[in-house]
Amino acid sequence: MTTLPILMYHSVAADPDPQVLDLSVHPADFGAQLEVLREEGFTTMTFGEVRAALAGETELPARPVVLTFDDGYADFHREALPRLIAHRTSATLFVTTGWLADAGPFASGRPLDDTLTWEQVGDVDAAGVEIGAHSHSHPQLDQLPGDLLREELTTSRELLEEQLGHRVTSLAYPYGYSSRRVREAAAAAGYQHAAAVANTAAGATSSTYAVPRLTVDRSTDLARFRRIVAQQDLGALYLRQRVLTAGYAAVRRSRSAARTWCRLG
Ligand SMILES: [Zn+2]
């Protein structure tokens, strides 16, 4: 079965806010990663193009790879976009609409670093980068009651569609957290597919509303990057992240169980 690496980036910056440093990639490293993709004959696709390919409606290229960027940090416009354009690389940017620098009356949540303006999101869209939604205020969607969950999913899609003047069909869950209820809400809110984290490769058996992605961050040197895109030993490469994720999941489950118990009590 064909699988493909879907990479998850956040900030691309030399000196980001310390809160996003671990999640960020240095612009020089990002440029070198794009160079590796070019040298090794990869074809980049948007996340939106992946759904049709995994459903068998279109052919996957010979060496497909997808670059996705979460949150909508200002450095995407300054650092990532010019490099993507220079390398003719497709990409998808998942925007947290309430975090945008000029969200105005719609401002919601607390961004971890400087974020894009609406005009810059328009520039990114016009440059051919796919714009997807990343919720409105970046909550843990699986912890929200139904009405707030619907609002988070719908507000971000509607604001993006209104500003860009076309449909927005891709979603990435904040922190990658979803549950069956969240995935059903994403489908009901008009998204065609959604990205999780999971740190494994995506393939035909991936759930349409929990397409796995692979983390690329400050600790990703070029040797590791080459192994990630070649899908070599992903289990070993991401062992630490998987253990951490499983640990968080257990903590979050017990917290949520404690809350339920308190409410019942
Ligand atoms: Zn995020």
How remote is the CA of residue 137 from the centroid of ligand 1, in Å?
A: 10
Question: What SS3 state is found at 170?
Answer: strand
- Interatomic CA distance for residues 168 and 215, integer angstroms: 23
Mapping DSSP onto H, E and C, the string for 35-78 reads HHHHHCCCEEECHHHHHHHHCCCCCCCCCEEEEEEEECECHHHH
Query: Beta strands 3-4 and 202-203: pairing type?
Result: antiparallel
How remote is the CA of residue 71 from the centroid of ligand 1, in Å?
A: 5
Mean pLDDT of 12-41: 96
- Is the domain spanning 3-232 CATH 3.20.20.370? The answer is yes
- Interatomic CA distance for residues 106 and 240, integer angstroms: 37
Mean pLDDT of 205-212: 90
How remote is the CA of residue 172 from the centroid of ligand 1, in Å?
A: 8
Q: Where are the beta strands (DSSP E) in the chain?
A: 3-4, 6-9, 43-45, 64-71, 92-95, 130-133, 170-172, 193-198, 202-203, 211-215
pLDDT at position 175 is: 93
Amino acid identity at 48: G
Token digits of residue 4: 């493909």
- 261 pLDDT above the threshold of 70: no
How remote is the CA of residue 173 from the centroid of ligand 1, in Å?
A: 7
More confident residue, 240 or 74: 74
How remote is the CA of residue 94 from the centroid of ligand 1, in Å?
A: 8
The closest of 68, 64, 75, 120 to 91, measured between CA atoms, is: 68
Which residue intervals of 141-189 are DSSP H helices?
146-164, 180-188
How remote is the CA of residue 77 from the centroid of ligand 1, in Å?
A: 17
More confident residue, 246 or 156: 156
Amino acid identity at 180: R
How remote is the CA of residue 175 from the centroid of ligand 1, in Å?
A: 6
- 79 pLDDT above the threshold of 60: yes
Q: For residue range 144-182, list pLDDT tens digits in order.
A: 999 999 999 999 999 999 999 999 999 999 999 999 999
Residues contacting residue 161 through CB under 8 Å, at least 6 positions apart: 167, 168
- 1 pLDDT above the threshold of 60: no
How remote is the CA of residue 39 from the centroid of ligand 1, in Å?
A: 30
How remote is the CA of residue 126 from the centroid of ligand 1, in Å?
A: 23
Query: Beta strands 6-9 and 211-215: pairing type?
Result: parallel
Consecutive H or E run containing 206: none
CB 160 within 8 A of CB 131: yes
Token digits of residue 15: 């000196």
CB 120 within 8 A of CB 77: yes
How remote is the CA of residue 41 from the centroid of ligand 1, in Å?
A: 29
Q: For 86-95, 118-127, 128-137, 205-214, which range has the lowest pLDDT when averaged over its residues?
A: 205-214
How remote is the CA of residue 265 from the centroid of ligand 1, in Å?
A: 34
How remote is the CA of residue 25 from the centroid of ligand 1, in Å?
A: 15
What's phi and psi for 212, nearest 5 deg?
-75, 145
